[in-house]
Structure 1
Amino acid sequence: MAYNNRVRFCFRKGGVFYFVRRVPADLASVYKHTRISFSLRTKSRTVAQSRAMAVAARLEEHWFRLRLERDGPPVSLSVPVKSLFANQAALSEVTLSSTTLTQALETYLRLRGAGRSQLFRRTTERAVGYLITVCGDRPVAELTRRDANAFRDWLIAKGLTGSSVGRMLSCVRAVINVAANEEGIDSPRAFSSVQYDRKAGVVSRAPVPLVALRRVQTACVEADDDRRWLVALIADTGLRLSEAAGLARADLVLHHPEGAFVEVRPHDWRPLKTASSARRVPLVGSAEWAARRVLSKASRSAYAFPRYVSGDGVKANAASATLNKWLIPLVPEGCSIHGMRHALRDRLRTVECPSDIVDQIGGWTTAGAGHGYGKGYPLTVLRKWMEAMTNVT
């Protein structure tokens, strides 16, 4: 990024001209930043020069007004200061449009991306990238409801489901809100309450029936390899696929006064979905067998399933594709590995397990302020219900 000597008040980045002007030292207290900078939205030198000079002229008038209001007009000036500026509001908002979508994205990732997964970063970059494809790298304050509707229509035409459209819109709203907050301005409402069919294309995930689950567990024991250990672990714990695939070997505890358990906790390579996802789940049935098989295999890796973990994080999509392909002949149509998590809740209902215990086992958030107090149920209580669940035929 370097200043261009031929175009005053401009520099180029990626071929696009950006306006830049230092805030005068005597007006520094009025601004949050020492520079005013934003995209001129052109690669044309001629257009950039014209726009830059126009903005510079507005700024000079604006700064003149600020100085008059601060220091007072000359003695010979009898006209009220405010009447000199018919477009005072427009001049005072010159920094409002200085933050482009690209700059807003950088700000959002810097402030909200610390400690988050690569998936969080990729999802955010993808959502804002899609919006830039539709609307251009616009200043955030210039986005309108028409832009939001065009973005929604583009996502739908691209084939995204209603839930995916919702995630993209939510992501864009978050980026815009953070950028507006940083600039100290009211957040633009263009992307609020955008209408779309939230159920479009969404396929409900069916729980795996118990008879099919038993068939899968038998096949896992027969195959007896790391992929099937992962499936068997999920079958009787209800862990999310990313939770299970991202376990460390140390998370599998076989010798404990209250019995074997798996500790679901955040790692550098795999954060957790929610705060309530951190939990201890007793190892029973096929899950205990799988944990013993994992730990019985000599490995230099700290990961329980190194096949699906790398420096970039957990390869949950690859694991899902491979394991679901293997499951297809063993489960009814519409079922997947995530259906085992749904099945866990139904299986615990069958033995009349209290719902707050079910929530603790599955890492679901229990409604009500009171449930946030205390440490939760001990492993012995959780184990009682999970053993009752596995004994149902």
Structure 2
Amino acid sequence: MPEYISAPHCFLKDGLFYFQRWVPTELRRHYTSPKISYSLRTRSARVAAAQAVRAASQLDEYWYHLRSQDADLPGKHMLRLGVAGPGQRTSEGGSVNIDCVRLSEAVVTYPRLKGDGKGVTFHRAAERCCGYVIDTCGDKPLTSYTKADANAFRDALIARGMAGSSITRVFGTVRSIINFAGNEEGIELMNPFGKVYYDRSAGVSDRQPIPVEAIYAVQAECYRLDDEMRWLVALVADTGMRLAEAAGLLCEDIVQDADGNYTARITPHPWRRLKTAGSAREVPLVGSARWAAWRLLEAQDGTGFAFPRYNKTDTTNANAASAGLNKWLKAYVPKGTTMHSFRHSMRDRLRAVECPADIVDQIGGWQTEGVGHGYGKGYPLIVLRRWMQSAAAGET
């Protein structure tokens, strides 16, 4: 009999025990997934069984309270998100004290008010990050979290194996949600999730650019294979666009002038937002990017999308593009480089031809420091094109 049979609600994967439990059908509206599944980080059936029994017991208790919320209770309309939990206090007159807004409530308010027009990743990040806090420290009133909770949360993230940059993003999201909810509810609080020490460089490796020789080899393969995936690679290789920017283009975003020059207009779309406001720009298409533009417009299938395979739903599937292209790319580029490395390479290639830094920023959609750079419309396309042609040709 397999060892994992002795550990309830568990299964084995690669020698590690995982906890798994299906959410009751009537409670699934409270969850983003019908199944709870996570690693117990142990190979011992005895340890896994103890952790699983404890987790199952906690879930049973919580589900009991959720079912109580759904009951037809007197005065239910006066409750905040259902039955008041432990730790909620009342002020004079019996109303719920605003100081008792819980993190689970804050994470509902934040995306509702700030998530308009933002992608699903924004909402998932808020739920995921606050879920980490609740798993580690419990679902408490915002004023009840302490510095000890924040330090325990940090230790839990480190134990998950998160890199310093990922921990920074998680803490930033949690801080923003707590601060926003506090301001909305008029709560004065000292956010304990600020100024928490950890090694921000731990596990972080610098993204390396792709050498020019490797870029030329990749472009040659793109010309040879000549399909939609390679058109996307070729477009990114000689522009330094973010992969999502390129994958979400419409055919009408690629325009040709009277001289036969192509330009990509990078603008926000409902299916693909831009990373920053400064990311909206026009990028001249030269070298392999010009070839890709010609092939895309020649082969357009009537959907309107330049890359329909990555736009089959209401959101550009940049993750699928990244996974597929990186898998193909690794045979031609140094270890540790990815599609995003073309963006780093473009900056270096423009430096190599002594392109002014503010022109480089305009081409890549990077923020240029200084108040003066916010004035005017920027450099004309003819200037950008000249520098990009020099970079594509490797001129010095």
- What range describes the TM-score normalised by the shorter chain of this pair? 0.7 to 0.9
2:187 maps to amino acid: I
1:316 to 296, 315, 318: 318
Contact 1:127–1:168 (CA under 8 A) maintained in structure 2: yes
Query: In the alignment, which residue of structure 1 is the partner of 2:364?
Result: 362
Change (3 A) 1:206 1:159: same
Kept after mapping to 2: 8 A contact 1:37/1:98: no
SS of the residue corresponding to residue 132 of structure 1 reads: helix
Q: Where in structure 2 are the equivalents of 1:93-242 lying within 5 Å?
A: 95-242=97-244
After superposition, residues 75-90 of structure 1 pair within 5 angstroms as none
More off after superposition, 98-107 vs 216-225: 98-107
Residue of structure 2 aligned with 1:390, choices 379, 389, 392? 392
Structure 1 counterpart of 2:382: 380
Deviation readout 1:101-127 (Å, 9 max, x if unpaired): 121111111111001111111111111
> How far 1:329 moved relative to its partner?
1.5
The 2-side partners of 1:139 and 1:392 are apart by 59
Contact 2:240 2:364 in 1 (8 A): yes
Moved more, 211-220 or 247-256: 247-256
User: Counterpart in 1 of 2:92?
Assistant: 59
SS at match of 1:130: helix
Q: Within 2, Cα distance between the matches of 1:123 and 1:196?
A: 21
The answer as to 2:255 corresponding to 1:253 is yes
Q: How does 1:332-347 map to 2 (within 5 A)?
A: 332-347=334-349
Q: CA deviation at 1:182?
A: 0.5
Deviation string, structure 1 residues 80-115 (Cα, Å, up to 9, x no partner): xxxxxxxxxxxxxx6243311121111111111001
In the aligned structure 2, how far is the partner of 1:300 from the partner of 1:116? 27
Show structure 1 runs of 4+ deviating over 6 A: none
Aligned equivalents of 2:137, 2:85: Cα separation in 1: 12
* Alpha-carbon offset, residue 135 of structure 1: 1.9
Correspondence for 1:41:
85
Distance change in 2, residues 1:243/1:298 (3 Å): closer
Q: Compute the TM-score of the two structures, normalised by the length of structure 2.
A: 0.78
Bigger Cα displacement from structure 2, 190-199 vs 357-366: 190-199
Between the aligned partners of 1:274 and 1:257, the Cα distance in structure 2 is 31
Q: Deviations over 1:130-170 (max 9, x none)?
A: 11111222111211111111111111111111111110110
* 1:250-279: CA deviation from partner (whole Å, max 9, x where unpaired): 111123569310011100011000011000
1:357 corresponds to which letter in structure 2? I
Cα distance change on mapping 1:137 and 1:310 into 2, 3 Å: farther
Aligned Cα RMSD in Å? 2.5
Residues 296-337 of structure 1: CA distance to partner in whole angstroms, max 9, x if unpaired? 114121211121124341222221111111111211122111
Q: C-alpha displacement at 1:13, in angstroms?
A: 6.5
Aligned length: 329
What CA distance in whole angstroms lies between the structure 2 residues aligned with 1:347 and 1:256?
28
What does 1:344-355 align with in structure 2 at a 5 Å threshold? 344-355=346-357
Contact 1:254 1:292 in 2 (8 A): no
CA distance in 2: counterparts of 1:313 and 1:256, whole angstroms: 33
CA distance 1:183–1:292, change in 2 (3 Å): same
The answer on 1:243 being equivalent to 2:248 is: no
- Name the counterpart of 2:269: 267
How far, CA to CA, are the matches of 1:375 and 1:262 in structure 2?
A: 17
What TM-score do the two structures reach when normalised by structure 1?
A: 0.78
Q: Say whether the 8 Å CA contact 1:212–1:330 is kept in structure 2.
A: yes
8 Å CA contact 1:16, 1:40 repeated in 2: no
**SS class of match (1:262):** strand
Could you say if the C-alpha distance between residues 382 and 15 of structure 1 is closer, same or farther in structure 2, counting changes exceeding 3 Å?
same
What stretches of structure 2 of length at least 5 have no aligned partner?
Answer: 1-25, 27-63
2:280·2:365 contact (CA, 8 Å) conserved in 1? yes
Q: Which amino acid aligns with 2:286?
A: V
Q: Which amino acid aligns with 1:194?
A: V
The one-character-per-residue Cα deviations of 1:206-242 (angstroms, maximum 9, x if unpaired) are 0000000000000000010100000000000100011
Q: Label 1:16 to 1:279 Cα distance change in 2 as closer, same or farther (>3 A).
A: farther
Percent identical across equivalent pairs?
Answer: 50
Give CA-to-partner distance per residue, 1:30-74, whole Å, 9 cap, x none.
Answer: xxxx957376435xxxxxxxx88xx45x524x89xxxxxxxxxxx
Q: 1:13 to 1:310 in 2, by over 3 A?
A: farther
Deviates more, 1:244-253 or 1:258-267: 258-267
CA 1:188–1:310: 2 relative to 1, 3 Å: farther
Gaps of 5+ in 1: 2-11, 23-33, 43-50, 64-93
Q: Structure 1 residues 383 and 168, CA, compared in 2 at 3 Å: closer, same or farther?
A: same
Amino acid in structure 2 at the alignment position of 1:171? T
What is aligned with 2:10?
A: none
Q: Which amino acid aligns with 1:37?
A: R
SS in 2 for 1:97: helix
Matching of residue 276 in structure 1 with residue 294 in structure 2: no
Q: In 2, Cα distance between the equivalents of 1:203 and 1:268? A: 33
CA distance in 1, matches of 2:166, 2:68: 32
Distance 1:258 1:301 in 2: 24
Specify which of 8, 15, 22 is matched with residue 67 of structure 2.
15
